[in-house]
Amino acid sequence: MNTELLGVVATFIITLAIGIPLGKYISKVFKGEKTILDFMAPLERFIFRICGIDPTKEMNWKQHVAALLSLNLLWFVYAFVMFLFQGSLFLNPDGNPSMSPHLSFNTAASFLVNCNLQDYSGETGVTYLTQLAVLMFLHFVSAATGIAALVVVFKAMREKVTDKLGNFFEIFVKSITRILLPISLVIALLLVFHGTPASFDGKDQLITMQGDTAHISRGPAAGMIAIKHLGTNGGGWFGANSAHPLENPDYFTNMVEVIAQVIIPVALIFALGHYLSRKRLAWVIFGVMTIGVLIFLYPALHAEIKGNPAIAQMGPSSSGGNMEGKEVRFGAPASAYWCILTTVISTGSVNSMHDSFMPVSGCMQLLGMMTNCFYGGNGVGILNYYIFLIIAVFISGLMVGRTPEFLGRKIEAKEMKIATIIALLHPLLILAFTALASFGLVRDPSLPWLNNPGYHGFSEMLYQYTSCSANNGSGFEGLGDNTPFWNITAGFVMLLGRFLPIIGPIAIAGILAQKKYIPESSGTLRTDTGTFGLMTYAVIMIVAALAFFPALTLGPLAEYFSRH
Amino acid sequence: MKTYLLPSLKLTAVLIILCSVLYPLLIAGIAKTAPGQGKGVTLSLNGKVVGYENIGQKFTKDEYFWSRPSAVDYNAAGSGGSNKGPYAPDFLASVKARIDTFLVHNPGVTKEQIPVDLVTASGSGLDPDISIEGARIQVQRIARKRNKNEKDLFDLIDKTKEKPLLGFLGPEKVNVLKLNIALEGLPK
């Protein structure tokens, strides 16, 4: 067990060792400074030329939002149509069928918004064509959308009073050519040389040693698995996601994949510090987020290593930990680490089945998605955190009797209204829809939705909408979610939970950027101190506790206390 | 928004070519130099392919080391776990049944000795590995069935087991298919 804990610690240290310098690199990319990937510049110029884009034409925040939504609208229509007709299109060696309209809607929404909830199973529900040309394409562009939205906010936070915030297409394209594509390629090759398939051959068939016939799904999976992590998307090639031994063959690839999903969210914090020359602020944000993650991590690690007391009662030694839904090559500690990182960050890929985790761990997974801003998804993590920063500035300002200011700009009623609406939208979506589903189930208990009775069944529904609103995509997969009700409601929750929390911060930052810049003085409430960091943490946790405590009580907490 | 639709359309087309055509083709090309040529690494016995190194397969006969239970019956074209909560009554009943089955097939073993990975289903349903303890506990049964010396089988496990990454990161484990292939290779 000691080597397993050491593995977890090493994984976290390597993540920081890559993430911190990567942040400096990302800042250089968007400042237009020299980087090692400048050889991509001709390719970018070529892309802009044939697309008729003038990358020097700067946009204001409303134009940024319009460009972002135009792109996303097109992708949504494209994805929806492709799923509807995939069965009769080419590159379908396994002969998989087309999707129903409601499943197409759900899947298109899910991958568009970087959520990657999968109500289909990878081996049978999609074709090689839709895996590559739709799902993997959306992996890249949805991640780049998040990064680009954040960079727009970075530009707005500079000291300059302006409404010119760069060109959205330029930032977006560079996110792909300078960050996502090159790093994904490296990750994909690491996976390939450890046994992840990458060829276009279809299913294989063989006779096993015992004489059974086995069919083995394969395919060009490595590239998709790389970007699904780097882009904090999470939607995998195979049904079992990164628990599948071809998707995640050994402990090394497990480290690679869980590191890959954290490096950009961590790097973006430090990119902020470099970009604005406010390194102290970046370290404070990083500190708050890291503490937030560790506080969720500890109980989960503890519960999974301790194992399931109900099994221990029947005899077997629990020294292996809680192994239901887990793989031997990862073990309980690395699975617990992954489950927390994948939920605080909006990846939602899994290397073990969340439904079978102990109630305490399930509660921590839910909290990770309910707060949704400790590291968080590519770009959107900091955007969510930004909302809480604004609220924390306002509350602290009131507490000490100073005008609330953030980075030299006065926070006034309009910004506060937007921030509050966005902060409350997340609990509203989760709780309202969970209540609706629960109501449906009470009205008709024969509905075949739940795979588990009692409190755990309620947790399955709560988890589903939490995951959708947080754009996470992991699930308590026992939930029978490929039905019109779940596909459609979840699709809407995902779309609302994506675009409003992106537009909100861009609007706030855009409005603030046009206000007079007030240089910091001794009268300014400093936002780059430990005290203010603590204040932000308190705001985040209090909002989460007030909103979600009753729901958690009905689910994982009740399950825990029914046994203790 | 209208002004952005046309450039967006063109950009989408270009990025599909870049991210969904060139990128996977490049990886597939380089993968040809990787073990298994990017199609998955297979293992053979007497010149016949009997399985994929990374894909667990069903072993339920007494003369083989058993794999872990699988919620999908080792269907490698439809992976998945049980998705049962830790206290679900039907889940605990199936664990109980697995313990009982194991005890029937392994006389001399007490239930306290059974490692937990042998009575719980993996996340993928295709776990290729078991714990070292999970292999050792089966030695008595296999030795009896195959008329072998128990010590030879323990040595076989030690030879086949995989150490933690770099010797100090992650768990120790043994690949069931490799172990059973090695078992077949023991002198008669």
Q: Is residue A320 in a domain? A: yes
| Arithmetic mean of pLDDT, A355-369 | 96
- Residue A465: is it exposed, middle or buried by C-beta count within 10 angstroms (0-12/13-18/19+)? buried
- Contact present, A347 and B142 (Cβ < 8 Å): no
ipTM of this predicted structure? 0.95
* Confidence (pTM): 0.96
Q: Is B183 within 8 Å of chain A by CB?
A: no
Cβ B14–A50 below 8 Å, yes or no?
Answer: yes
| pLDDT at residue B17, rounded to an integer | 96
| pLDDT at residue A111, rounded to an integer | 96
- The rounded distance, in Å, linking the Cα atoms of A127 and A108 is 14
Chain-centroid distance of CA A128 in Å reads: 24
Do B111 and B139 lie in one domain? The reply is: yes
pLDDT at A242 over 80: yes
- Contact present, A528 and A284 (Cβ < 8 Å): yes
- The rounded distance, in Å, linking the Cα atoms of A376 and B29 is 34
- The rounded distance, in Å, linking the Cα atoms of A252 and A256 is 6
- Residue B73: is it exposed, middle or buried by C-beta count within 10 angstroms (0-12/13-18/19+)? exposed
Torsion of CA A308, A313, A316, A319, to 10 degrees: 50
Contacts of A69 in chain B (CB under 8 A): 1
Out of B79, B121, B170, the one facing A331 most closely (by C-beta) is B170
Q: Which of A270-284, A308-322, A547-561 has the lowest mean pLDDT?
A: A308-322
Do B119 and B152 lie in one domain? The reply is: yes
End-to-end Cα spacing for chain A:
25
Written as one letter, the residue type at A162 is T
Cβ B24–A132 below 8 Å, yes or no?
Answer: yes
Q: Please tell me the distance in Å from A453's CA to the nearest CA on chain B.
A: 7
Cβ B124–A243 below 8 Å, yes or no?
Answer: yes
| pLDDT at residue A529, rounded to an integer | 93
Structural domain tally of chain B?
Answer: 2
Written as one letter, the residue type at A535 is M
- Contact present, A226 and A187 (Cβ < 8 Å): yes
| Arithmetic mean of pLDDT, A210-217 | 93
Cβ A314–B83 below 8 Å, yes or no?
Answer: no
Chain-centroid distance of CA A213 in Å reads: 38
pLDDT at A1 over 70: no
Task: List, as ranges, residues 44-63 from B with C-beta within 8 Å of A.
Answer: 45, 49-61
| Arithmetic mean of pLDDT, A507-518 | 94
Q: Is residue A20 in a domain? A: no
Chain-centroid distance of CA B36 in Å reads: 17
C-alpha distance from residue A413 to each of A397, A399, A416, A433, B145 (Å): 13, 17, 5, 30, 79
The nearest alpha carbon in chain B to A303 belongs to B86
Q: Is B48 helix (H, G, I), strand (E, B) or coil?
A: strand
Q: Which two tokens stand for residue A230?
A: 């780097």
| pLDDT at residue B129, rounded to an integer | 97
| pLDDT at residue A523, rounded to an integer | 78
Q: Is A215 helix (H, G, I), strand (E, B) or coil?
A: strand
Cβ B86–A356 below 8 Å, yes or no?
Answer: yes
C-alpha distance from residue A484 to each of A121, A167, A489, B136, B139 (Å): 17, 39, 8, 49, 51
Structural domain tally of chain A?
Answer: 1
Out of B55, B114, B165, the one facing A316 most closely (by C-beta) is B114
pLDDT at A452 over 60: yes
Domain coverage including residue A131: 25-563
**Residue B174, strand partner residues:** B130
DSSP-derived secondary structure for A233-295: ----SSTTGGGSTTTS-SHHHHHHHHHHHHHHHHHHHHHHHHHTT-HHHHHHHHHHHHHHHHH
Cβ B95–A238 below 8 Å, yes or no?
Answer: no
- Residue A4: is it exposed, middle or buried by C-beta count within 10 angstroms (0-12/13-18/19+)? buried
- Contact present, A148 and A65 (Cβ < 8 Å): no
C-alpha distance from residue B88 to each of A62, B33, B84 (Å): 51, 47, 6
- Residue B105: is it exposed, middle or buried by C-beta count within 10 angstroms (0-12/13-18/19+)? middle
Cβ B129–A222 below 8 Å, yes or no?
Answer: no
Q: Please tell me the distance in Å from B140's CA to the nearest CA on chain A.
A: 18
Q: Please tell me the distance in Å from B18's CA to the nearest CA on chain A.
A: 9
The nearest alpha carbon in chain A to B19 belongs to A137
- Contact present, A272 and A382 (Cβ < 8 Å): yes
| pLDDT at residue A522, rounded to an integer | 80
| Arithmetic mean of pLDDT, A13-35 | 96
Do B83 and B174 lie in one domain? The reply is: yes
Q: Is residue A2 in a domain? A: no
pLDDT at A209 over 90: yes
> Which regions of A443-521 does DSSP assign to beta strands (E)?
none
Out of B82, B170, B171, the one facing A324 most closely (by C-beta) is B82
Do B134 and B179 lie in one domain? The reply is: yes
Quote the Cα angle for A141-A230-A321, to 5°.
135
- Contact present, A327 and B129 (Cβ < 8 Å): yes
Do B52 and B127 lie in one domain? The reply is: yes
- Contact present, A393 and A464 (Cβ < 8 Å): no
- The rounded distance, in Å, linking the Cα atoms of A376 and A369 is 9
Do B24 and B67 lie in one domain? The reply is: no
Question: For all residues of chain A together, what is the average pLDDT?
Answer: 94
The nearest alpha carbon in chain A to B57 belongs to A208
> Which regions of A366-425 does DSSP assign to beta strands (E)?
405-406, 409-410
Phi, psi of A214 (to 5 degrees): -120, 135
The nearest alpha carbon in chain B to A69 belongs to B1
| Arithmetic mean of pLDDT, A357-377 | 96
Cβ A353–B9 below 8 Å, yes or no?
Answer: no
- Contact present, B131 and B119 (Cβ < 8 Å): no
Alpha-carbon Rg for chain B in angstroms: 22
- The rounded distance, in Å, linking the Cα atoms of A562 and A274 is 50
- Contact present, A7 and A334 (Cβ < 8 Å): yes
Written as one letter, the residue type at A410 is K
Q: Is residue A5 in a domain? A: no
Out of B52, B84, B169, the one facing A6 most closely (by C-beta) is B169
Q: Which two tokens stand for residue A84?
A: 């509807």
C-alpha distance from residue A136 to each of A133, A142, A230, B24, B152 (Å): 6, 10, 12, 10, 49
Q: Is B22 within 8 Å of chain A by CB?
A: no
| pLDDT at residue A520, rounded to an integer | 83
Contacts of B176 in chain A (CB under 8 A): none
Q: Please tell me the distance in Å from A136's CA to the nearest CA on chain B.
A: 7
Cβ B116–A317 below 8 Å, yes or no?
Answer: yes
- Contact present, A449 and A480 (Cβ < 8 Å): yes
Domain coverage including residue B6: 1-39
End-to-end Cα spacing for chain B:
77
**Residue B51, strand partner residues:** B43
Q: Is B75 helix (H, G, I), strand (E, B) or coil?
A: coil
Do B21 and B95 lie in one domain? The reply is: no
Residue A402 confidence class, pLDDT cut points 50, 70, 90: confident
Q: Please tell me the distance in Å from A166's CA to the nearest CA on chain B.
A: 15
- The rounded distance, in Å, linking the Cα atoms of A471 and A460 is 16
Task: List, as ranges, residues 70-109 from A with C-beta within 8 Å of B.
Answer: 70-71, 74-75, 78, 94
DSSP H/E element including B52? strand B48-52
- Residue A268: is it exposed, middle or buried by C-beta count within 10 angstroms (0-12/13-18/19+)? buried
Q: Is A456 within 8 Å of chain B by CB?
A: yes
Alpha-carbon Rg for chain A in angstroms: 23
Out of A203, A227, A334, the one facing B77 most closely (by C-beta) is A203
Q: Is A300 helix (H, G, I), strand (E, B) or coil?
A: helix
Q: Please tell me the distance in Å from A461's CA to the nearest CA on chain B.
A: 13
Q: Is residue A539 in a domain? A: yes
Q: Is B101 within 8 Å of chain A by CB?
A: no
Q: Please tell me the distance in Å from B121's CA to the nearest CA on chain A.
A: 5
| pLDDT at residue B1, rounded to an integer | 63
Out of A141, A212, A319, the one facing B15 most closely (by C-beta) is A141
Do B25 and B58 lie in one domain? The reply is: no
Contacts of A195 in chain B (CB under 8 A): 35-36, 40-41, 53-54
Q: Which two tokens stand for residue B141?
A: 């049964």
**Residue B130, strand partner residues:** B174
Q: Is A92 helix (H, G, I), strand (E, B) or coil?
A: coil
Task: List, as ranges, residues 352-381 from A with C-beta within 8 Å of B.
Answer: 352-353, 355-359
| pLDDT at residue A480, rounded to an integer | 86
Do B68 and B54 lie in one domain? The reply is: yes
Contacts of A221 in chain B (CB under 8 A): none
Interface test with A, best of B6, B112, B122 (most A CBs within 10 A): B122
- Max CA distance (Å), chain B: 80
Contacts of B165 in chain A (CB under 8 A): 7, 250-252, 255
Cβ B171–A330 below 8 Å, yes or no?
Answer: yes
Do B7 and B82 lie in one domain? The reply is: no
- Residue A102: is it exposed, middle or buried by C-beta count within 10 angstroms (0-12/13-18/19+)? middle
Q: Are strands B42-45 and B48-52 parallel, antiparallel or unpaired?
A: antiparallel
CA nearest neighbour of B140 among B153, B127, B155: B153
Q: Is A259 within 8 Å of chain B by CB?
A: no
Query: What string of pLDDT tens digits covers the 188 residues of chain B?
Result: 678 999 999 999 999 999 999 999 999 999 999 998 999 999 999 999 999 999 999 999 999 999 999 999 999 999 999 999 999 999 999 999 999 999 999 999 999 999 999 999 999 999 999 999 999 999 999 999 999 999 999 999 999 999 999 988 999 999 999 999 999 998 87
| pLDDT at residue A474, rounded to an integer | 93
Residue A546 confidence class, pLDDT cut points 50, 70, 90: very high
- The rounded distance, in Å, linking the Cα atoms of A431 and A104 is 25
Over the stretch A164-177, which tens digit does the pLDDT of each residue have? Answer: 999 999 999 999 99
| Arithmetic mean of pLDDT, A47-58 | 95
- The rounded distance, in Å, linking the Cα atoms of A471 and A348 is 8
Do B75 and B150 lie in one domain? The reply is: yes
Do B123 and B79 lie in one domain? The reply is: yes
Q: Please tell me the distance in Å from A118's CA to the nearest CA on chain B.
A: 13
Cβ B11–A195 below 8 Å, yes or no?
Answer: no
Q: Please tell me the distance in Å from B105's CA to the nearest CA on chain A.
A: 16
- The rounded distance, in Å, linking the Cα atoms of B151 and B137 is 13
